[in-house]
Structure 1
Amino acid sequence: MSTAVKMDEKAKSKLEELQAEIKLKTGKKVTQQEILTQLIESAVDARTEFINSFRDGSTSLSESEVQQFNEGRIAPGVETDEGDIDDILY
């Protein structure tokens, strides 16, 4: 099953350049559909980085910042009941 995807001229031109470069460097002729499929698979493998590329500015934390935030947040083996939570929050 094939579905048409609309893209602007700049994206279409880059796709054609990529197609030509693949042919030049590998000697293998690939379709634009094959290229897009491979690009999607690559994006899925690097999902977090790909998703973050759509963010405006630098709003997400780096992996080290997330790790630093989470350090000491969980005390293994310590039970917390509702009264403890109330005391902490209020």
Structure 2
Amino acid sequence: MATAVKMDEDTKSKLEELQAEIKLKTGKKVTQQDILARLVESAIDSRAEFIDSFREGTTSLDADELERFNGGMISSGVETTEADIDDILYG
């Protein structure tokens, strides 16, 4: 049983482009329903990343930002254990 999915013209156009490219590169004719089903399965496989794509703003640092962040870190010379952290946080 098929159910209609509403989408704007731009999205519909991109779906049609994808459909045509699949046909051109694989020689296989696939339906838009097949494409959407495969996209949903792909999103399920990387669920956390897919969900994060709907968050506002940047969710992670790129390599340069991470290097700059870590470059600002210094060692105090004091080794801290998990017990030390627990004691500080929980008293």
- Normalised by the size of structure 1, how large is the TM-score? 0.67
**CA–CA distance in 1 between the matches of 2:29 and 2:60?**
41
Match of 2:55 in 1: 55
Cα deviation for residue 74 of structure 1 reads 6.2
**CA–CA distance in 1 between the matches of 2:22 and 2:9?**
20
Cα deviation for residue 42 of structure 1 reads 0.4
Point out where structure 2 has 5 or more consecutive residues left out of the alignment.
Answer: 62-79
SS at match of 2:3: coil
**CA–CA distance in 2 between the matches of 1:57 and 1:28?**
38
Runs of 4+ in 1 over 3 A off after TM superposition: 72-75
Specify whether residues 52 and 73 from structure 1 end up closer, same or farther in structure 2 by C-alpha distance, changes over 3 A only.
farther
Cα deviation for residue 73 of structure 1 reads 9.0
Aligned residues: 72
Match of 2:72 in 1: none
Match of 1:2 in 2: 2
Counterpart residue type for residue 33 of structure 1 = Q
What is the percent sequence identity of the aligned residues? 69
**CA–CA distance in 1 between the matches of 2:6 and 2:28?**
26
Point out where structure 1 has 5 or more consecutive residues left out of the alignment.
Answer: 63-71, 76-83
